[in-house]
């Protein structure tokens, strides 16, 4: 919605920077034509494009509608604070700038389960549409964590399901995608997510890679979600990030660093990482990692055979503009060397040496003995 935003205030899934909507045609990063050119160039260089799919909500409605809603406790969304009454919410989406191209679907209050603003009273709160229930197959934090922000999509509505499934097929026809990241996956129906993954693989290609951003420090929650999804995707290893942060600051036993992590339990479905855009300094899930420990943490995800490592842009290149907490490249600028070492030498049998509380080691080799 915001032309200078990062896309999480999503307005129109079908507009990749093509239509004059919400005060701009291009997105923060450019036009649809430029995006397609980038994707094709990346493919020619052997780089896969992973689309960040924001499917939980919509923002920037074109008009308000009146409907009956109940106010719920923000700390426990299963608790109603007052009985149903009429509110005025921003839930009308007609996408006039697109004019029905690609999809004729128009959204109204029937397609949402909740909002966080009553325009009539100019009041901010969490309101559940009175005739709706929160989804059951979401995270259980805050009583029920279906509602996250803006106008929350209701995936029990078949029209919503049909439109988003159609979009999954459409985006694959517009860009040569390698994979998709499901944003905020703990906030909307896991049953629909499974249907979406299966539909995209059936219509775009069975090779499409999926990773869900289900951020929980409890590995049991992540494993339950994976089971619910029939192990059809991977997850970011949030418990591992938490352990890196804690051990770097407290000096706990290094031999336990992979205990109660996803990579320690389901390595084939673990995306291992040290930091991301949400855990960097100043962000909502900040997980500070002592600078001396970052090279060790990256070595543990890049030079071991378990999990699929993901390097944070800020650690690789630094972040200097437009942020309150600028970063310089981590690991003394040697992170590319670690990545190259993985590419060239991380093959063969792995030997772990987790013998001492303050000193652990690992090496790969094609035969027993010292590694390369």
Strands 63-73 and 123-129: what pairing?
Answer: antiparallel
Element (H, E) at 359: strand 359-365
Strands 112-118 and 85-92: what pairing?
Answer: unpaired
Sign of CA dihedral 26, 312, 233, 239: negative
What phi-psi label fits residue 33: left (phi over 0), alpha (psi between -120 and 50 degrees) or beta? alpha
Indicate which residue of 154, 213, 237, 315 is catalytic. 213
Active site residue 80: no
Facing residues of 27 across strands?
A: 30
Long-range contacts made by residues 349-358, C-beta under 8 angstroms, separation at least 24? 350/304, 350/305, 352/304, 354/254, 354/255, 355/255, 356/254, 356/255, 357/253, 357/254, 357/255, 358/251, 358/254
Residues 183, 148, 165: CA angle, nearest 5 degrees: 45
Active site residue 230: no
φ and ψ at residue 311, rounded to 5 degrees: -95, 135
Facing residues of 349 across strands?
A: 365
Indicate which residue of 154, 183, 237, 315 is catalytic. 183
Element (H, E) at 226: helix 219-228
Give the 3-state secondary structure of 22-72: CCECCECCECHHHHHHHHHHHHHCCCCEEEEECCCEECCCCEEEEEEEEEE
Residues in CB range of 224: below 8 A, 6 or more apart: none
- C-alpha 224/C-alpha 179 separation (Å) is 23
Residues in CB range of 335: below 8 A, 6 or more apart: 298, 311, 315, 316, 329
The set of catalytic residues is: 183, 213
């Amino acid at each position: 919605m915001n032309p200078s935003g990062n896309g999480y205030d999503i307005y129109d899934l079908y507009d990749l920077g093509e239509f004059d909507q919400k005060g701009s045609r291009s997105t923060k990063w450019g036009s649809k034509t430029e995006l397609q050119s980038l994707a094709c160039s990346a493919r020619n260089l052997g780089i896969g494009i992973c689309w960040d799919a924001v499917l939980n909500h919509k923002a920037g409605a074109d008009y308000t509608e009146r409907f009956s809603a109940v106010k719920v406790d923000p700390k426990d969304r299963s608790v109603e604070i007052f009985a149903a009454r009429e509110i005025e919410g921003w839930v009308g989406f007609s996408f006039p700038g697109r004019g029905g191209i690609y999809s004729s679907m128009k959204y109204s209050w029937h397609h949402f389960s909740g909002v966080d603003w009553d325009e009539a009273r100019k009041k901010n709160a969490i309101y559940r549409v009175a005739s709706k229930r929160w989804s059951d197959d979401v995270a259980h934090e805050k009583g029920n964590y279906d509602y996250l922000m803006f106008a929350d999509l209701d995936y029990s509505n078949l029209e919503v399901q049909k439109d988003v499934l159609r979009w999954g097929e459409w985006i694959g026809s517009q860009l040569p995608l390698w994979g998709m990241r499901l944003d905020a996956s703990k906030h909307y129906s896991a049953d629909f997510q499974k249907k979406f993954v299966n539909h995209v693989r059936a219509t775009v290609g069975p090779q499409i890679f999926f990773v869900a951003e289900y951020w929980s420090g409890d590995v049991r929650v992540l494993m339950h979600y994976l089971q619910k999804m029939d192990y059809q995707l991977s997850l970011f290893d949030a418990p591992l990030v938490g352990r890196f942060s804690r051990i770097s600051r407290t000096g706990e036993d290094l031999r336990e660093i992979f205990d109660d992590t996803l990579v320690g339990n389901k390595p084939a479905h673990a995306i291992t990482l040290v930091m991301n855009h949400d855990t960097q300094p100043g962000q909502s899930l900040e997980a500070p990692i002592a600078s001396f420990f970052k090279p060790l943490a990256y070595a543990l995800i890049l030079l071991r055979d378990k999990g699929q490592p993901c390097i944070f842009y800020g650690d690789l290149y630094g972040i200097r503009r437009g942020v309150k907490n600028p970063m310089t490249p981590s690991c003394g600028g040697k992170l590319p060397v670690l990545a190259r070492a993985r590419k060239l030498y991380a093959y063969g049998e792995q030997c772990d040496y987790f013998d001492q509380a303050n000193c652990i080691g690992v090496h790969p080799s094609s035969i027993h003995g010292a590694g390369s």
